[in-house]
């Protein structure tokens, strides 16, 4: 059963992620799904803040990967949006981060054509349900 939360604002989404941060550990993989603007990067902002970092989290849309030294964990924040079928995935070191030394967070994980490790993998789905309302569902794959 997924856990379901309704966020009424971006601040609410960040707070939800900050609570989730308390239960994270190295080697976890979080796949963030949701339409453009659903709030994936906003959720990662809350996650990194919840880990005790005051670093500014921005979208890695063009750089593919941002790394944050977030207190007890390094967060590897990927955004695969721009990648497509012609991507040479061997050029990316994504597999080397799975399950890496830190916490791997992947926006647009559905672009990645290879299986993710089942263990320690979580899906976080954001759905727009109003101007500022978002449904956030968390599924854990054991």
Ligand X SMILES: Nc1ncnc2c1ncn2[C@@H]1O[C@H](COP(=O)(O)OP(=O)(O)OP(=O)(O)O)[C@@H](O)[C@H]1O
* Among 42, 104, 120, 125, contact with ligand X (rule: CB under 6 A): 42
Closest contact distance (angstroms) between CB of 119 and ligand X is 26
User: Which one of 14-22, 59-67, 109-117, 128-136 is the stretch in contact with Mg ion (CB under 5 A)?
Assistant: 59-67
| Beta strands in 1-142, from DSSP E residues, in sequence order | 3-7, 29-33, 65-70, 73-79, 103-107, 121-128, 134-141
Interactions with Mg ion, residue window 76-135 (CB under 5 A): 107
Can you say how many angstroms the Cα of residue 140 is from the centroid of all Cα atoms in its chain?
13
Q: Does 30 bind ligand X (CB under 6 A)?
A: no
Of 108 and 119, which CB lies nearer to Mg ion in the complex structure? 108
> Of Mg ion, ligand X, none, which one sits near residue 39, judging by CB under 5 to 8 A according to partner kind?
ligand X
Nearest in space to 96 (alpha carbons), one of 78, 110, 70: 78
Window 83 to 122, contacts with ligand X (CB under 6 A): 107
**With binding defined as CB under 6 A, does residue 48 bind ligand X?**
no
Does the footprint of ligand X cover residue 125 (CB under 6 A)? Answer: no
- C-alpha pair distances (Å), 121 with each of 15, 103, 111, 128: 21, 11, 16, 23
Residue 51 and residue 90: Cα distance in Å, rounded? 31
Beta bridge partners of 79: 107
Separation of alpha carbons 71 and 108, rounded Å: 25
Residues that bind ligand X (CB under 6 A): 7, 9-10, 12-13, 34, 36-42, 59, 79, 81, 107, 132, 134
């Amino acid at each position: 059963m997924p856990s379901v939360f309704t966020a009424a604002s971006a601040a609410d989404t960040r707070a939800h992620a900050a609570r989730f941060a308390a239960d994270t550990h190295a080697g976890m993989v979080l796949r963030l799904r949701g339409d453009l603007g659903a709030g994936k990067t906003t959720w990662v902002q809350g996650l990194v803040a919840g880990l005790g970092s005051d670093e500014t989290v921005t979208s890695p849309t063009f750089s593919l990967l941002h790394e944050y030294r977030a207190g007890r964990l390094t967060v590897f924040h990927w955004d695969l949006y721009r990648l497509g079928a012609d991507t040479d995935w061997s050029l990316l070191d994504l597999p080397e981060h799975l399950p890496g030394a830190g916490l791997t967070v992947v926006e647009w994980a559905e672009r990645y054509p290879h299986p993710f490790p089942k263990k320690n993998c979580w899906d976080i789905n954001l759905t727009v349900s109003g101007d500022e309302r978002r449904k956030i569902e968390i599924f854990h794959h054991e």
